[in-house]
Structures are given as C-alpha cells and as structure tokens.
C-alpha cells in the first residue's frame, strides 16, 4: 500500500478520536513525520546484526528524530495540538500525555518502516514504562490495528522497555503489561542503559523470559574498570538470558574494544556505528 493513503487513514483516525480537524501526520520526500505540539517527530532506524556475522541483518531499532515544527502554523493551533495530546481522559495527565506521544511515535515508525520491511527481520520499538503503567488492560490492542493496517504482523514487532531502579520497583505491574503484549504475539525486550541502575534485573529477566535483552556497551575510554572485567561482568547476564531462551544485544558499539567485549561476553547480536562502518567499508571494496 502506498504511504499517502495510510497517512490519510491515520489522520482521519486521529480526527475521529479527538473530535478535531488537526491532522498530525505528514509526508515529505517519502518520509512520514508526526506533529506533537511545537515539535516534529520522525524516524531513524539502526541496524541490528549477528555478532558472528555482521553482514547478517536481524532487524532495526527505531529511534525518534526531533526537530522544531514551524511552517508558519498559528500559535493557537500549536496550543490546540498540545492540549489534545495531553488531554486527561481516564488517566493522570502525565500518563495520558506519554501514552499519546508513544502512540504517535510508534505510528510514525511503522509507516516509515515500510521502506525497510522488505528486508525482513524484526522492528524494535521503545515503549515508555509510564505508558505500560498507565494503560490498565489490553496493552497492544490499539497499536495492533496500526500494524495490521500497514500490512505487517505483531510477531515481527519487539516491544522494548527500559528498566531502571525506579521502574524495577513496579516490576509486577510492568510484567503484567508486557505479558499482555506477548499474548497478542508481540515479542518483548528489556533495555538496560546501565548495569548500575537496575537493581533486581536478574529477577526480572527470569520472571519475564524476554525475547531480547538489550545492554548498552560500556564506555571503554573513561570507565574505571579494566577491559578484562567487562566480559566477566556481562557474561553472567548473557548466560542467564540464553537459559531463558532469549537473545542478547550489545548496543551503541562505537569502537573495536567494545566489539571485542561483545564477542568475549558472547552477545548474540550487536548494534552500533562500528559495525555500520565495517559494512560500508566492505561494500566500497567490492
């Protein structure tokens, strides 16, 4: 299906849901954006590859690209958009705002991903923990309609949630929400930004049995620990995740030292500029 009819469909859906003539989704040069108050949100896709075969593409991680939205739009219209997207319905304002922003971002990502989906693999989509805590039941039902409309399937979408000390305290509610997604055939990922801000992560890994465990590569340039300590620190997590039947991803790999850690700690998958450059340099030599 062409992009323009899909953009029109989701704009119509937004108008109906919010009883407004605001149409937040736009398309320019084949790229879809979403308007959220005074900002414009689009997509950047980062490649996820196999550690032992960097040329083998496993999927993409969707990240938001944010720019100011001007286009000479009247200030009262910007205010109206902002009010609609932060409107209190049945949840506290902060939860509902996050839910609306998450839904807008994920719709933008799905539309932009259509240009990548022919390569196969999975799409990792970040979901704010506050969204999962704010939705009482039926997690993933709203977004499932978007996925199907785009001609894709929920089993190719990985719902990825960041975990830290605060959200680890609410792990029971978060696990319930993530399992709701799983019941709709979504895959699940836990995203650990830092090993030192995720108390009880082993318990969560065991209870959830996530399909993927995403861990940021350690900063080898400034960290006080030796290079040899990182594989020893990370390997218990990769082993635990493998026991649970899931895969591990070392992400944001920027240099050879971090790539060596990925191999030594036996990460299944990798993501980062280092591998993209390797692939680009290889293709130039062909």
170 pLDDT more than 80? no
The reported pTM is 0.86
Domain coordinates of the chain in residue numbers?
A: 43-71+100-285
188 pLDDT more than 90? yes
Tokens of residue 279, six digits = 């692939």
* Res 90: pLDDT: 43
* Res 206: pLDDT: 87
Which residues, in sequence order, are bridge partners of residue 31?
A: 28
Give the side-chain half-sphere CA count within 13 A for 31. 10
133 vs 92, higher pLDDT? 133
Grouping H, G, I as helix, E, B as strand and the rest as coil, residue 183 is: helix
- Of 194, 278, 209, 214, which is closest to residue 246 (Cα–Cα)? 209
130 pLDDT more than 50? yes
Q: Over pLDDT 90: what percentage of the chain?
A: 45
**Quick one: average pLDDT of 89-104?**
64
Query: 66-82 pLDDT, tens per residue?
Result: 888 866 554 454 454 44
DSSP for residue 218: P
Query: 5-17 pLDDT, tens per residue?
Result: 999 999 999 888 8
Q: At 43, give phi and psi (nearest 5°).
A: -125, 145
End-to-end CA distance of the chain: 34
Query: 243-284 pLDDT, tens per residue?
Result: 999 999 999 999 999 999 999 999 999 999 999 999 887 666
Query: 33-58 pLDDT, tens per residue?
Result: 998 878 899 999 999 999 999 999 99
C-alpha 29/C-alpha 85 separation (Å) is 26
Q: Which of 36-50, 95-109, 225-239 has the highest mean pLDDT?
A: 36-50
For the chain, what is the mean pLDDT?
83
87 pLDDT more than 50? no
* Res 92: pLDDT: 46
* Res 86: pLDDT: 45
* Res 279: pLDDT: 84
59 pLDDT more than 70? yes
Q: Report how far apart, in Å, the C-alpha atoms of 88 and of each of 36, 99, 111, 254 are.
A: 16, 11, 27, 42
Would strands 269-270 and 39-50 be described as parallel, antiparallel, or unpaired? Answer: antiparallel
Provide the CATH topology of domain 43-71+100-285.
TIM Barrel (3.20.20)
* Res 6: pLDDT: 94
119 pLDDT more than 80? no
**Quick one: average pLDDT of 168-191?**
88
């Amino acid at each position: 299906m062409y992009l323009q009819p899909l953009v029109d469909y989701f704009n119509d859906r937004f108008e109906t849901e919010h009883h407004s003539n605001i149409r937040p989704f736009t398309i320019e040069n084949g790229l879809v954006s979403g308007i959220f108050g005074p900002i414009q949100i689009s997509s950047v896709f980062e490649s996820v590859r196999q550690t032992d075969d960097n040329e083998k593409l496993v999927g993409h991680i969707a990240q938001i690209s944010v720019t100011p939205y001007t286009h000479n739009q009247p200030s009262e219209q910007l205010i109206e958009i902002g009010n609609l997207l932060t409107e209190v319905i049945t949840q506290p304002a902060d939860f509902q705002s996050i839910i609306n922003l998450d839904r807008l971002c994920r719709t933008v990502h799905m539309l932009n991903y259509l240009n990548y989906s022919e390569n196969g693999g999975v799409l990792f989509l970040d979901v704010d923990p506050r969204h999962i805590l704010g939705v009482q039941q039926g997690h993933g039902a709203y977004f499932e309609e978007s996925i199907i409309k785009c001609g894709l399937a929920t089993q190719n979408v990985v719902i990825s949630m960041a975990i830290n000390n605060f959200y680890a305290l609410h792990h029971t509610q978060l696990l319930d929400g993530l399992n709701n997604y799983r019941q709709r055939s979504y895959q699940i990922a836990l995203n650990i930004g830092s090993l030192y801000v995720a108390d009880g992560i082993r318990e969560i890994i065991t209870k959830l049995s996530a399909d993927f465990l995403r861990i940021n590569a350690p900063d080898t340039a400034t960290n006080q620990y030796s290079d040899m300590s990182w594989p020893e620190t990370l390997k218990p997590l990769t082993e635990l995740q493998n026991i649970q039947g899931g895969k591990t991803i070392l992400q944001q790999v920027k240099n050879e030292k971090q790539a060596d850690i990925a191999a030594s700690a036996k990460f299944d998958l990798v993501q980062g500029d280092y591998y993209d450059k390797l692939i680009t340099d290889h293709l130039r030599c062909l």
